[in-house]
């Protein structure tokens, strides 16, 4: 293990967890990742291994059967997993967001019901906010929940659900017109338990997961739509028990999700650097290893600097969230920097490989297709810059 992307101040438990995950990644993920990715095959054996390691309950409190670890620990674990195969980190990301939302905002009954099973990996979560015509404008949400006695009737279409088919619990954001005078106070999060699989759901009438969306990269993990047609959900499955709080609950989830995406960018970038510096010491041109050419050394230096900078920014954002402080500024910066640097480091590693980088026999080809997803996941670079810009104006506003 090289000196890049090291984290100061970790406890012995944190170091042990990361060593265990790193060993799992090297032995169980990296050797099979490219083959599974090319087949677009769900990594069932890897997921079972993560369940045995307790990773699905990493941040869930010990009282509910989890490990009770911090967001920082989780982010560092995600970085290691993404180094092996980014799709696997996506499987735990949405699960973690939903578990975080339930733990932070759920009723006691919801915590008691869901969290122990989520910690064991028996219930796996998916997160549903986006819609086909929504983009980044959450206020334009159209999926609607209408109160009908002790139930709500949900109608609409959601988009871009990671784990949409394989999950058994989906946190779905709907418009309910019950919260207040602004669109953001008229949204509610519903917790929908379902049977895994595609097509009409056998246990939730009116709920349909049409099938997997075909993607350029980020394969293996299923990305889906979610169609709701007169789906009846008990009122006690509103997250927190009170309508109108969904936007703020979802934004809390997205905030930690942005740290996760930053961690994924760090992991993919680190793997691309490893591949690039290794290949540069094996390939020879003009009578010497290409690593001895100054142009390649400059490229490696730039790549390593970006890997290190992104990692430290991600760690800062995670620690800020763990402290209980507002971290939208740091999370936005970390997500923006890590995803952009990931793209650049992967492309440089691709260039170092030359023509072989274009071959599916080489791992860098997979990373080259995976990196673009991080540019748009959990908000585009433009959204991150808008968030950061607004927060900076709040912090540095001059007196009029």
- The residues that are catalytic are 378
The burial of 232, by beta-carbon neighbours within 10 Å (0-12 exposed, 13-18 middle, 19 or more buried), is given as middle
Greatest Cα pair distance in the chain:
80
Q: At which residue do the structure tokens 């109108």 appear?
A: 244
Question: Residue 95: phi, psi to the nearest 5?
Answer: -60, -45
Residue for token digits 């999700």? 257
Q: Determine the Cα angle at 189 with ends 188 and 195, to 5°.
A: 140
Q: With contact defined as beta carbons under 8 Å apart, do 239 and 171 qualify?
A: yes
Q: How many CB atoms lie under 10 A from the CB of residue 253?
A: 27
Residue 274's Cβ-side half-sphere holds a number of Cα atoms within 13 Å equal to: 17
Establish how many alpha carbons lie within 13 A of residue 170's alpha carbon, considering only the half-sphere containing its beta carbon.
32
DSSP 3-state of 200: strand
State the helix-helix crossing angle for 12-24 and 44-53, rounded to 10 degrees.
160
CB 355 within 8 A of CB 280: no
What secondary structure letter does DSSP report for 213? P
Exposure class string for 187-198: b at 16+ Cβ within 10 A, else e: bbbbbbbbeeee
For residues 134 and 226, is the Cβ–Cβ distance under 8 A? Answer: no
Token reading at 8: 């100061």
Counting Cα atoms < 13 Å in the Cβ hemisphere of 162 gives 22
Separation between Cα atoms, residue 220 and residue 46, nearest integer Å: 11
> Which 3 state secondary structure label does DSSP give 326?
coil
């Amino acid at each position: 293990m090289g000196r890049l992307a090291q984290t100061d101040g970790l406890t012995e438990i944190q170091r042990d967890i990361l060593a265990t995950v790193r060993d799992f990644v090297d032995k169980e993920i990296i050797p099979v990742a490219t083959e599974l990715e090319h087949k677009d095959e769900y990594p069932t054996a890897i997921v079972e291994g993560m369940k045995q390691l307790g990773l699905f309950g990493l941040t869930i409190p010990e009282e509910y059967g989890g490990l009770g670890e911090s967001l920082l620990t989780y982010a560092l674990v995600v970085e290691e997993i993404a180094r092996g195969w980014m799709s696997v980190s996506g499987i735990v990301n949405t699960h973690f967001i939903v578990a975080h939302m339930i733990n932070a905002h759920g009723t006691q009954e919801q915590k008691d019901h869901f969290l122990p099973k989520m910690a064991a990996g028996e219930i796996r979560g998916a997160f549903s906010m986006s819609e086909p015509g929504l983009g980044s404008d959450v206020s334009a949400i159209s999926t609607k929940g209408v109160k009908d006695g002790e139930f709500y009737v949900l109608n609409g279409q959601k988009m871009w659900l990671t784990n949409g088919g394989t999950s058994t619990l989906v946190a779905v954001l709907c418009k309910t017109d019950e919260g207040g005078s602004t669109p953001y106070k008229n949204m509610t999060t519903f917790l929908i338990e379902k049977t895994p699989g595609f097509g009409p759901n056998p246990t939730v009438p009116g709920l349909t997961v049409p099938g997997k969306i075909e993607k350029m990269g980020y394969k293996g993990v299923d990305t889906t739509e979610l169609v709701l047609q007169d789906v009846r959900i008990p009122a006690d499955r509103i997250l927190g028990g009170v309508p109108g709080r969904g936007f703020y609950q979802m934004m809390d989830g997205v905030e930690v999700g942005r740290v996760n995406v930053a961690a994924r960018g760090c992991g993919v970038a680190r793997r691309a650097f490893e591949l690039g510096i290794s290949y540069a010491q094996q390939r020879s041109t003009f009578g010497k290893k290409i690593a001895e050419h100054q142009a390649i050394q400059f490229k490696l230096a730039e790549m390593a600097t970006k890997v290190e900078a992104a990692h430290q920014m991600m760690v800062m954002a995670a620690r800020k969230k763990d402290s209980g402080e507002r971290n939208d500024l740091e999370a936005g910066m970390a997500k923006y920097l890590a995803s952009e640097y990931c793209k650049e480091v992967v492309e440089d590693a691709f260039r170092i490989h030359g023509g072989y980088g274009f071959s599916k026999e080489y791992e860098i080809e997979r990373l080259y297709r995976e990196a673009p997803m991080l540019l748009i996941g959990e908000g585009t670079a433009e959204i991150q810059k808008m968030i950061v810009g607004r927060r900076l104006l709040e912090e540095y506003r001059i007196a009029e």
